[in-house]
């Protein structure tokens, strides 16, 4: 992901003797200059949390810039009719930057099933399927009927993160007085976990890092790819070992419910997971997904006004 961010927003440090300057080059997905975009550069000042705003329009070369004498950071926003908004926050102090911002075109937003899903993994379930249209485990562990991907999970408890007098103070503190041993393990335990996520029916997963755009409202490409899918991936989790915590969120596409004839996929549904899948070592999965229920339609450009998951109360980006 770090490599992707560098590719999509090249932040080049330069020297400046008369204040601090941000130069924006607005480009489209083919990296061509995009004129006529509304650019706002907001410089944050160190006094009383004030700011100074510069507004302008990108020129024929896609460029717009502004300079401020005293600043501790900046926010850049870009808008243009027919395109998704882009926004970049600069929290790296008072420096000069040349910024490339990629604008994704608004093409054909459609209704999709969109949910935030957190699933507690049943103990000793073995390999268990997830039905994305239903938003649940498949039976008998949930109300799902079709497995879109399967999870094999194992974890282990190896004691508490504290010991001796420190643990005694925590264990018998008033706030923990009524916690069961199981609850104490969940809150203070040292848990390690491993999971294998397998696409139902074969080749189903592809990670979409090269074309991930973290600064756009539409972070992932408009459509799922036709090829490049793999069968599974491995995950590790820990509540105490930072090297094995699933911190980095890897965006991915999923091809599911596939029918194959003569070695070719003739029917499939497509899904995007903009932040991938997060694993909690204590026994749960968490992810946000966009599922297209229309077979053979790779379009995953979501219309936020038309969520087919009617129970969802929050609004989701495209």
For 71-113, how does the pLDDT look when each residue is reduced to its tens digit (9 = 90+)? 788 899 999 999 999 999 875 555 678 889 999 999 999 999 9
Lowest mean pLDDT among 8-12, 55-59, 226-230, 275-279: 8-12
Q: Are 237 and 265 in contact (CB under 8 A)?
A: no
The band of 138, judged by pLDDT with boundaries at 50, 70 and 90, is very high
* Phi (first) and psi of residue 8, to 5 degrees: -90, -25
Burial of 49 (0-12, 13-18, 19+ CB in 10 A): exposed
* Alpha carbon distance 116, 220 (integer Å): 17
Tokens found for residue 93: 């102090």
Q: Which residues pair with 41 in a beta bridge?
A: 54, 76
What is the per-residue pLDDT for 246? 58
Burial of 78 (0-12, 13-18, 19+ CB in 10 A): buried
Token pair 């810039």 in the structure block, residue: 65
The band of 170, judged by pLDDT with boundaries at 50, 70 and 90, is confident
* Phi (first) and psi of residue 206, to 5 degrees: -145, 130
| Strongest mean pLDDT among 148-152, 203-207, 249-253 | 148-152
Q: Share the mean pLDDT of the chain.
A: 88
Lowest mean pLDDT among 23-32, 138-147, 166-175, 309-318: 166-175
* Alpha carbon distance 215, 29 (integer Å): 13
Residue 118 predicted with pLDDT over 90: yes
What is the per-residue pLDDT for 74? 86
Residue 248 predicted with pLDDT over 70: no
Tokens found for residue 302: 């979501």
DSSP string, 62-117: SEEEEEESS-SEEEEEEE-TTB--EEEEE-S-S-BEEEEEEPPB----EEEEEEEE
- Opening angle at CA 39, ends 37 and 44, nearest 5: 170
The band of 14, judged by pLDDT with boundaries at 50, 70 and 90, is very low
The band of 9, judged by pLDDT with boundaries at 50, 70 and 90, is very low
Q: Are strands 51-57 and 38-44 parallel, antiparallel or unpaired?
A: antiparallel
- How far, in Å, are 20, 191, 202 from residue 157 at the CA level? 52, 5, 32
Lowest mean pLDDT among 173-177, 239-243, 245-249, 309-313: 245-249
Count of helix runs (H) and strand runs (E) in the chain: 3, 19
Mean pLDDT of 152-181: 89
Q: Which residues pair with 51 in a beta bridge?
A: 44
Token pair 């490599």 in the structure block, residue: 3
Residue 68 predicted with pLDDT over 70: yes
Q: Are strands 63-68 and 20-27 parallel, antiparallel or unpaired?
A: antiparallel
What's the N-to-C CA distance of the chain in angstroms?
A: 20
Listed in sequence order, the residues at least 6 apart from 304 whose beta carbon sits closer than 8 Å to its beta carbon are: 109, 315, 316, 317, 318
What is the per-residue pLDDT for 3? 43
Mean pLDDT of 210-222: 92
Q: Which domains does the chain have, with CATH numbers?
A: 2-102 (2.60.40.1120), 110-307 (no CATH)
Listed in sequence order, the residues at least 6 apart from 155 whose beta carbon sits closer than 8 Å to its beta carbon are: 191, 192, 193, 194, 237, 281, 282, 283
């Amino acid at each position: 992901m770090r490599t992707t961010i560098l590719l999509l927003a090249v932040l080049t440090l330069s020297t400046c003797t008369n204040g601090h300057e941000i130069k924006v080059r607005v480009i489209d997905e083919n990296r061509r200059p995009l004129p006529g975009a509304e650019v706002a550069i907001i410089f944050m000042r160190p006094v009383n949390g004030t700011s100074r705003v510069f507004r302008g329009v990108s020129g024929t070369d896609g460029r717009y810039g502004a300079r401020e004498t005293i600043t501790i950071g900046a926010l850049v926003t870009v808008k243009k009719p027919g395109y998704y908004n882009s926004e970049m926050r600069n929290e790296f102090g008072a420096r000069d930057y040349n910024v490339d911002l990629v604008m994704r075109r608004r093409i054909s937003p459609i209704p999709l099933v969109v949910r935030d899903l957190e699933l507690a993994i049943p103990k000793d379930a073995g390999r268990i399927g997830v039905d994305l249209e239903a938003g649940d485990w498949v039976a008998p562990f949930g109300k799902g009927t079709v497995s879109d991907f399967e999870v094999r999970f194992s974890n282990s408890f190896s004691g508490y993160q504290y010991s001796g007098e420190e643990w005694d103070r925590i264990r018998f503190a008033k706030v923990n007085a009524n916690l069961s041993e199981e609850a104490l393990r969940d809150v203070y335990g040292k848990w390690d976990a491993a999971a294998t996520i397998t696409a139902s029916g074969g080749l189903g997963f592809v990670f979409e890092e090269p074309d991930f755009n973290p600064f756009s409202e539409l972070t992932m490409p408009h459509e799922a790819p036709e090829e490049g899918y793999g069968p599974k991936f491995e995950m590790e989790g820990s509540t105490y070992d930072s090297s094995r915590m699933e911190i980095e969120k890897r965006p991915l596409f999923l091809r599911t419910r596939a029918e194959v004839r003569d070695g070719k996929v003739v029917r499939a549904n497509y899904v995007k997971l903009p932040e991938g899948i997060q694993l909690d070592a204590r026994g749960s999965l968490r992810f946000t997904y966009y599922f297209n229920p229309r077979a053979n339609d790779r379009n995953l450009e979501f219309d936020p006004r038309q969520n087919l998951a009617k129970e969802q109360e929050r609004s989701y980006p495209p």
